[in-house]
A and B are shown apart, each in its own frame.
Chain A
Amino acid sequence: MEMGGGAAPPQGQQQPPPGAAAEAAAAPRPAAERLNAAVVQQLNLESVKTRALGLDKAISRILGDFDAYARANSSPKWQDVIGQFSMVSMELFNIVEDIKKVSKAFAVYPRNVSAENAAILPVMLSSKLLPEMEAEDNTKREQLLYGITNLPIHTQIEKLKARIDMIGSACEAAEKVIADCRKAYGLASRQGPSLVPTLDKVQAAKIQEQENLLRAAVNFGEGLRMPGDQRQLPSSLPSHLVDVLSFGDNTQNFGDNSGVYSKNTPAFTSNAVNNQGTPIQAPGAQQIGRSAPSPSGVSGTGNFDNASTPPMPYANSPRSSTNMMNTPSPQQQLQQQLQQQQQQRQKMMQVPSQHQQQLHSQQQLRPSSTPGVLGQSTMSQLHDLQGQAQQKLQQLPGQHQMQYSQSLSQHFQNRQMQSMQQNMAQNQLNQGSQLRSHLSQFTGAGNNALLNAAQASPNSQMSSFTFKKSKPLTSLRAMDILMYIADKVMQNLFGLNGGHPQRNHASQMLNDQMFGMGASNPSSMVGMQQQQQSVFGNMQTNVQNLQPGMVTLPNPTQNPNFPQQRQQNQQ
């Protein structure tokens, strides 16, 4: 610092150029320092002041010119104006340069002066403290120098130094204590206390082993698989599984997929009449006449409840009309069949025959309709559905209620008509859970059997029909749904399986005769109709209702083979 000591009147040295460097020694300071004489000379404050004043005048002149321009509302000559500005700025630059050389150490000058900060700049440049800061400074000084202000300076200095030393030593002592304590408590390392007991190896290994066990079990099922011999349904299932898995259904998932089919297959009691003695493998445990399983037993195909199944793909149902053609069974025959069916547990013989029937009709009808497409064929086939339902009626081994009420049939027909497009399936689907089982039967066993057979050569179907026991459901074909619906409808109309041993004899007879008509023989149908009307007075309307459906069956005309085959069957 070039400032020298010594007291000198500050006024002599204070000629701060306006807006330029401010003197470090402010006037109010009692002990103002004096600038070094050399610095003063170098600074040449007088000249700086003169130049600054000249600059100030020039700027004010320019501003006055602008004012005149503004009043006269004329535009200035910009070239002149710019020239003047450049002169002014160059002058300022020169002044600042001169000062900068000298006053770097103790003077500050504003760099960016703009309209906003021009007013505040002198205040900011001044080194004088703000009043409150100054007051604070004074109080602190008083505190510090309390008691020694009256002493000479050097004494004051010594006393202050002594105080500093004392404080210093106190700090050192405190640090030492902290370090000692840190070492004593083991806090020396930055990681903190390591008082956690580490696991011994044995324990850690045990835990590791348990962890692996648990993770493997949860994620991959290790250690949870039971050998096959233990996989038998226990006698008491937990409540949430009781409904799902009915006891005695030994066709469990463990490899045997026909379990679903084996349930609730009373509808499958196709006519033994049509049984041509072909070697048909029956799916295991198919029980016709079995007592109705728990409602959930039917639920094997519950998904169909929610499925908005395609509308009436049963147009392809092989049961349409072919059944009627194929079931000329006289009542005796039917009774025999029913008795047999009731006694046997394996009813697959009926299934294939019915499937055969369905198969045939399916053959014929399939090309004409696609799943989801409803046309006139569908309509007629809906009537076929009724016929099928009736046929089913006779197939059921007397466990269903043959309450073939007029209202039901009418209702059935009406619904068919109305909801042909989309609601048909759903309406019937909603009719009862027990009926769902049919779908599983049909779609599973029937589906594959029928599809396979359908795809095989038509003529050789009868002989080549094999019912594969474990063929699972691969796709829900339209035909299957239709068959399912048919079953459902029939179930709904004629009661549920296995709880209704009553049999309406008359209705059975009716059905027999109706089915015995054989759609290929309209004349005979007419005859039958008359017969029926005479015999079953209360059923007349039913017959009448059904007949239109029968009459419109296209199947009879399309299945030339069937009559022949049926004849063979009947023989």
Chain B
Amino acid sequence: MECVVQGIIETQHVEALETLLQGLCGAPKERVRVHELCLKSGPNLGVVPSEVRLLCDLALPTPTWTVRHVGGAVRGAAAEQICVQVRQVTESKASNNVLRFFYALGYKLDHELLKVGFAFRLQRGAQITVTVTSAYKMPKLHSTDEAVLITPSIQLVEITAPAAADNYNEVVSAVTSLCEHLAPLLHLSKPGVSTGIVPTAAAAAASLMLNSGGKTL
């Protein structure tokens, strides 16, 4: 399981967000360049199509593949009260022929996108990963070199934290507290829930950049 929130931030404020996260995290940021292929199962594998995401990490010299399946979110009254989405996620590393394997199984490519950005890993009550990426689409199949930004002026911020069934409350509270820390810059919400940008973002970004001027990270 994982707890996840998403938000958007204008590209002009990303640097300020990075500064803020650097301050919160302490460790340097990690580059993120992920080619995400979303596969949908064919009819032979069941009535309900399932979706599998293959993530190819292109930031490293040798690409590494990850298989990821995102399950359903926790529902219920309790789930509605928290502003974090808790959902089932299964992830695993895979060898580089995982794509062929899934094709052999009968999965078909549904869509693909490229995410480029950075990520911070924090330990604040739970292992939290904050990823700030801009999403690219590929006009031609698999043409990661010719990828085009989907939304040039807006980037996606995603905060995820793995959780277990018995401790997800703590993880939720850790993520929520981090969201409050980031409140001056961006609103975070469950995936699929639209937030808009925060009016104080500009001021907060300005103050962050002012304070960090001259700081070497």
Contact = CB atoms under 8 A, between A and B. Distances in A.
B143 A472 contact: no
A300 B63 contact: no
Contacts of B115: 218
Interface stretch (A120-128, A237-245, A413-421, A536-544): A237-245
A214 B142 contact: no
Given A208-B196, A214-B154, A214-B156, A254 B108 contact: yes
A212 interface: yes
Given A215-B191, A219-B192, A302-B97, A253 B150 contact: no
Interface string B117-154: 00000000000000000010100111111000011011
A28 interface: no
Contacts of B111: 221, 224-226
Nearest to B37: A241
Task: Give the one of A199, A208, A224, A305 with max B CB within 10 A.
Answer: A224
Interface string A480-493: 00000000000000
Contact of B42 (A217, A255, A302): A255
A306 B140 CA distance: 33
A330 to B, nearest CB: 37
Contacts of A210: 8, 151, 153-154
Interface residues of A, number: 55
B44 A472 contact: yes
B110 interface: yes
A376 B113 CA distance: 53
Task: Give the one of A225, A231, A238 with max B CB within 10 A.
Answer: A238
B143 to A, nearest CB: 6
B105 A211 contact: no
A204 interface: yes
Given A210-B153, A302-B97, A260 B103 contact: yes
B39 interface: yes
Interface string A233-261: 11001111101110000001111010110
Interface stretch (B12-20, B23-31, B169-177, B197-205): B197-205
A447 to B, nearest CB: 11
A296 B96 contact: yes
A300 B95 CA distance: 10
A444 interface: yes
Interface in B172-200: 191-192, 194-197, 199-200
Contacts of B197: 199, 207, 211
A218 B113 contact: yes
Interface residues of B, number: 55
B96 A253 contact: no
A214 B135 contact: yes
Nearest to A298: B97
B104 A472 contact: yes
Contact of A224 (B108, B112, B143, B153): B112
A508 interface: no
Nearest to B110: A221
B42 A234 contact: no
Task: Give the one of B99, B115, B143 with max A CB within 10 A.
Answer: B99
Contacts of B203: 196
Interface string A43-58: 0000000000000000
A64 B48 CA distance: 96
Given A196-B200, A238-B143, A472-B42, A215 B6 contact: yes
B196 A296 contact: no
A204 B199 CA distance: 10
A191 interface: no
A241 B137 contact: no
A440 interface: yes
Given A213-B151, A215-B6, A244-B97, A231 B106 contact: no
B163 interface: no
A253 B101 contact: no
Interface in A460-515: 471-474
Contacts of B153: 207, 210
Given A218-B113, A218-B135, A299-B95, A223 B103 contact: no
A305 B95 contact: yes
B39 A253 contact: yes
A11 interface: no
Contacts of A207: 10, 153-154, 196-197
Nearest to B103: A253
Interface in A333-353: none
A214 B150 CA distance: 7
Given A211-B8, A219-B191, A472-B106, A244 B99 contact: yes
Given A254-B109, A255-B108, A299 B199 contact: no
A153 B158 CA distance: 77
Contacts of B105: 257, 472-473
Interface in B79-98: 95-98
B209 interface: no
A306 B104 CA distance: 17
A489 to B, nearest CB: 21
Contacts of B112: 224
Contacts of A215: 6, 8, 156, 191-192, 194
B215 interface: no
Contacts of B99: 241, 244-245
B116 to A, nearest CB: 13
A240 B58 contact: yes
Interface of A: 196-199, 204, 207-208, 210-215, 217-219, 221, 223-226, 230-234, 237-241, 243-245, 252-255, 257, 259-260, 296, 299-303, 305-306, 440, 444, 471-474
15 contacts: A196-B203, A210-B151, A213-B150, A213-B151, A215-B191, A224-B150, A231-B141, A232-B141, A238-B35, A238-B142, A253-B109, A257-B44, A259-B104, A302-B95, A472-B44
The 5 closest A-B pairs by CB, nearest first: A299-B97, A240-B63, A221-B111, A253-B103, A300-B100
Given A199-B199, A241-B142, A244-B97, 8 more contacts: A230-B140, A234-B141, A238-B142, A253-B39, A254-B108, A296-B96, A306-B95, A472-B45
